[in-house]
Amino acid sequence: MAYGTDPRERYSYGEVSDDERREFLKALGVIAGGTIAGATLYDLRAEVSSGTASGLAEMGQGIRDGLTGSLDATLLSNQLGALTASFEQLPELEAMGVPEAGSEAYQSLTGPAWEINEHLADVGFFASAEQTLPSFTPEHIETTTRQLLHLDALPATLAEVGFAEQEQAALVTNIVNAREQLSWWMPTTAYPPAEAVDDGVVREYVAPLHQRAAEGSLLWIDGLDHYLWTNEVLVTSEMIDRGLWDIKSMLGGYYLMGAAARDLAEGTIADEHLSTLISGSSAIMIIGQEFLLDDVIRITDDKRAPAGVISQ
């Protein structure tokens, strides 16, 4: 996948190894001795301080103020409920293997998320988030991760859609362990505005960072029916297994983002938690995309299914 600090060595597929936890803790300045923390969010929380949440509350307020429309709590709540069913389908997809021609099995996972997505875009949620939140600098990644670990509601929210304790921890450790790839995803504001170039347009053609994270995830999942069927002769069961974790991560990220938006609509979320959850969920969705590419889409000769005997 990458040069230099290859994240594949530290990426967790739902189970966080000792080495992965050690890497994670080291990145957050915790030097693990002979023993290593357990593999749940609670275990990691015990090792990692929440740090200072400086600015997160103001950012949350900024996101709230930057909305151009009203969030519809009912719509969000209903669609989140529908999205829960998508997670329940994942084991069936594993059993199914490569989809049949014309299958919409993967595409059917994202219907509720697209409804949420359209609504969030309509009310300026993505634009407001990007205008307010910093880019994925090392500092912001660290702050976000520390805060995520200490979000009391996080384990329960993730458990609602079937993330086991180890899987919950994997989502968070992957943010830090794949931070280099994350940093490549720059906010639209990193690009010059139209008036800065002659006759040019820049920012106007790059979607907000958090929209790229969310919508990109849905596009990748939607296309898998076609992609897997088209490339059946190359695809292995390992690719599908790993891809399903990447999908679960992306959908998990989407659920967190949608839940934060719903809580915002209902007025039940603290500002600092709102910024933490939008940043954290976007990070999870971006990393899921990067690894789906690596696990399923970009197939090298050593990973492909063996070239079989062609019947004539």
Partner 1 sequence: MTFESHLEELPEDAPWHEMPGESQLEQYDTDQIPEVDITESDIRESGQNPENWLVFGNNYEGHRHTTADLITPENVDQLEFEYVLELGAPENDFQGSPLVVQGDPPIIYQTIGPDRLYAINGRTGEILWRNIYENADGTSAETPPAERGPAVVGDMIYKSTLDLGVLAMDRYTGEPEWYYNGAAAYRGEVADTDVGMHEELRWERSRGTTSSFPPMICDGILMKGSFGGEFGVSGFFDGINIEDGSPEWRVNMTPEHEWVGDSWMHGGGTAWAASSLDPESGTIIIPSANPGPWYGTVRPGYNPYTAGKVAVDIQTGEYEWHYQDAPHDWWDYDSPSPALVFEEEHDGEPTRFAAWPGKTGWVYTVNMETGQLHQRSEEYVQHYNMWSLPPYEDLEDAPWIMPELRGGTNPQTSSFDPVSRTMVVKGVNHPMKFSWFEVEYEPGEFYIGMDTIRQDRVPGEEEEIDEPDIETPREEIVEVEEEVEDEEEDVETVDEEEDDEDEEEEEEEEEIEEMEEEEVPFWNQNGGVLAGIDPFTGEVKWQQWYSWQQTPPWGGSMTTATGITFAGDGRDLFTAFDTETGEELAEWDVGAAVSGAPISWYDPGEEKQYVAAPAGGEREDWTEPGNRFAVLSLER
CB of 187 to partner 1, least distance (A): 11
Contact between 184 and partner 1 by CB under 8 A: the answer reads yes
DSSP letter at 184 equals: T
Per-residue tokens: 185: 């995803």
Question: What would you report as the CA-atom Rg of the chain, rounded to the nearest whole angstrom?
Answer: 20
Closer Cβ to partner 1, 16 or 109, answer by number = 109
Q: Which of 75, 153, 234, 270 binds partner 1 (CB under 8 A)?
A: 234
User: Which member of 174, 276, 281, 289 binds partner 1 (CB under 8 A)?
Assistant: 289
With contacts defined by CB under 8 A, name the span among 13-21, 140-148, 176-184, 241-249 that binds partner 1.
Answer: 176-184
96 vs 121, beta carbon nearer partner 1: 121
Closest by CA position to 161, among listed 257, 96, 37: 257
- Which amino acid would we find at residue 153? A
Q: Does 306 bind partner 1 (CB under 8 A)?
A: no
Residue pair 231/299 in contact (Cβ under 8 Å)? The answer is: yes
Of positions 103, 207, 236, 241, contacts partner 1 by CB under 8 A: 207
**Which one among 32, 73, 82, 297 touches partner 1, defined by CB under 8 A?**
297
- CA separation, residue 214 to residues 33, 238, 250, 253 (Å): 38, 25, 8, 8
| Neighbouring residues of 88: CB distance < 8 A, sequence distance ≥ 6 | 162
Letters for 212-231 (x = contact with partner 1 by CB under 8 A, - = none) are: xx-xxx-xx-xx--xx-xxx
Mind giving me the DSSP string for 210-230? HHHHHHHHHHHHHTHHHHHHH
Size of the site for partner 1 (CB under 8 A): 56
Contacts of residue 167, defined as CB under 8 A and 6 or more positions apart, other chains included, come to 14, 15, 158, 248
**What is the C-alpha to C-alpha distance for residues 291 and 297, in angstroms, rounded to an integer?**
9
Taking CB under 8 A as the binding criterion, the range among 42-50, 147-155, 237-245, 288-296 that sits at the site for partner 1 is 288-296
The stretch among 75-83, 140-148, 159-167, 191-199 that binds partner 1 (CB under 8 A) is 191-199
- The Cβ of residue 25 has, within 10 Å, a number of other Cβ atoms equal to 19
Positions that interact with partner 1 (CB under 8 A): 1-4, 101, 107, 181, 183-186, 190-192, 196-202, 204-208, 211-213, 215-217, 219-220, 222-223, 226-227, 229-234, 289, 293-294, 297-298, 300-301, 304, 307, 310-312
